[in-house]
Amino acid sequence: MTIRRLVTAAGIYAAAALGFAATVAAARIFPSTAVFGLYAIVMATTGFFQTLLDLTVEEAAVKYGFRYETQQQWGKLRRLLEGTLAYKLIGGAFAAIALLVLAPFADSLFHAHNLAVPLAVGAAIPLTQAPEGLAGVALFLRGRYDVRAVFLTLSMALRLAAVWIGASHGLTTTIVLIVVAQVISTAAIGIAGWLAFRRFPRVPSEPLGKDRKDIFRFVWQSSAGTGVVSLRTTLTLPLLGAVTSPAQAGLFRVAQAPQTGMATLSAPARMILVTEQTRDWERGSRQAVIRGVRRYTLGAAALMVVVVPLLWWLMPDLVRWIYKPRNLGAVDAARLILIASAVQFLVGWSKSIPIAVGRPKLRIWTHGIETLVLLPLVGALGYEWGATGAGAGVLVSSVVFALTWAVLFVRIARDESVSIKPEPAVQP
């Protein structure tokens, strides 16, 4: 198990490094910050519709998949994975259609020229990526999150190659090559996921019965939650581009580097948590889940005390060395997002806990509150101060999100303690 965790961490960190390298390559190879901003707008807009319309069935598949595995209900497990794959493909198709509808209006919306074709090409990304998540679920159910991490590394390596080759040939060529890279990546993990699935006992599909309604409710709540998350994570940059300019969007993308780095730092822990917490909760080891969250938070806080001051001090040099001096306008925004990312790092368990306890609607509430704070601030402050104003909006909303989750976690821990408290002995 320790080796798998190490491989998982190595795979995710390698994938993150490759993803970061792809962003750096784009920022350095594209001829200007404005063109890089257009690239960032295309990728963020694609990600927004993909997350918004691509149904989030993976969380339900993990939750109920572990339940059926524990109960050895292999026919229901087969039906669960077959059904969720179909819904995943439908969601990816809806996302692709939405992007194709938006593409003709992209130039006027983002104050750009010749953006319609790259955005239309990017519409293929949600559809080609749709099966990848379900293949990952099959690996999770076999406990092979390490293999999932390896394929994540492959995916990011292919994307880096696409950007490295395509950026010097223009934006459209870059997006075309990214689509090709995604097709190859999905095919590779799809084969691995299929092989993992075939290792379960081969029995005919069995109706889900009374679980069907609960699974649908779980899927819709998870989808609503990730839809809200998409507003937070992917709509911010296109919104800033719409109220300012592609150049400010490019600076903001550079400033998001600390956020990407912190998310990457916690990614192995989050991938392991979502697997092991869900399994432990279903097996009744619920206090172990609560204690694990507390240990993670204390360890994260200790790490941030060291990392944040150092990166704050080095930020101007890092931007200059990595992204070229032409992007130094991103420094102030990057420092604000650095603090926001540290706050988000502390509550890195906030994705796994709702899945483990079977309450995905918690993500709707928490990310909904965060989004209600974030988007108006990004629009208003971004319009006034560009990327720096948007960075301030990210910081304020992150603090609100963390405080909300702190309150909810205290309630979850208290409710669980009450539920296992032994009944008082009956007096003779």
**More confident position, 349 or 397:** 397
Question: Residue 349: which pLDDT band, with cuts at 50, 70 and 90?
Answer: confident
For residue 423, tell me if it sits in a domain.
no
In a domain? residue 424: no
**Token pair for 41:** 């707008």
Angstrom distance (rounded) from CA 351 to CA 271: 10
Closest to 206 in 3D by CA, of 60, 358, 83: 83
Q: What is the DSSP string of 284-311?
A: T-HHHHHHHHHHHHHHHHHHHHHHHHHH
The pLDDT tens digits for 153-205 are 999 999 999 999 999 999 999 999 999 999 999 999 888 888 888 788 887 87
Question: 101-121: per-residue pLDDT in tens?
Answer: 999 999 999 988 889 999 999
In a domain, 425, yes or no: no
pLDDT for res 424: 42
Q: Is residue 123 a contact partner of residue 117, using CB atoms and an 8 Å limit?
A: no
Total domains in the fold of the chain: 1
Q: Report if residue 242 sits inside a domain.
A: yes
Q: What is the pLDDT of residue 398?
A: 95
Does 427 fall in a domain? no
- pLDDT for the residue 205: 78
Confidence grade of residue 417 (pLDDT, cut at 50, 70, 90): low
Q: 28, 48, 22, 50: which is closest to 159 by C-alpha?
A: 22
Q: Give the pLDDT mean for 253-268.
A: 83
Rounded CA-CA distance 328/330 in Å is 5
Interatomic CA distance for residues 260 and 241, integer angstroms: 19
State the Cα–Cα distance between residues 8 and 5, nearest whole angstrom: 5
DSSP state of 387: H
| Share above pLDDT 90 across residues of the chain, in percent, rounded to a whole number | 43
Q: Has residue 339 got a pLDDT over 70?
A: yes
The CA-to-CA distance between both ends of the chain, in Å, stands at 50
Residue 428 scores a pLDDT above 50: no
Domain-embedded: residue 219: yes
Examine residue 335 and state whether it is found in any structural domain, yes or no. yes
Q: What is the pLDDT of residue 73?
A: 83
Task: Give just the sign of the alpha carbon dihedral 138, 143, 147, 151.
Answer: positive
Of residues 154 and 422, the one with the higher pLDDT is: 154
* Residue owning tokens 């360890």: 299
Residue 253 — very low, low, confident or very high, per pLDDT cuts 50/70/90? very high
Output the pLDDT for position 150: 86
Kindly report the backbone phi and psi dihedral angles of residue 32, in degrees, each rounded to the nearest multiple of 5, phi listed first. -155, 165
Note down the domain range covering 399. Answer: 2-418
Give CA–CA dist 121/96, Å, rounded: 9
- Residue 241, in any domain of the structure: yes
pTM, rounded to two decimals? 0.75
Stretch 268-293: mean pLDDT:
73
Please give the pLDDT value at position 230: 65
- How much is the pLDDT for 55? 65
What are the angstrom distances between the C-alpha of 202 and each of 72, 74, 78, 197, 238? 12, 8, 9, 9, 47
Cα 51 to Cα 71, 80, 102, 130, distances in angstroms: 32, 21, 16, 10
Over range 329-346, report the average pLDDT. 95
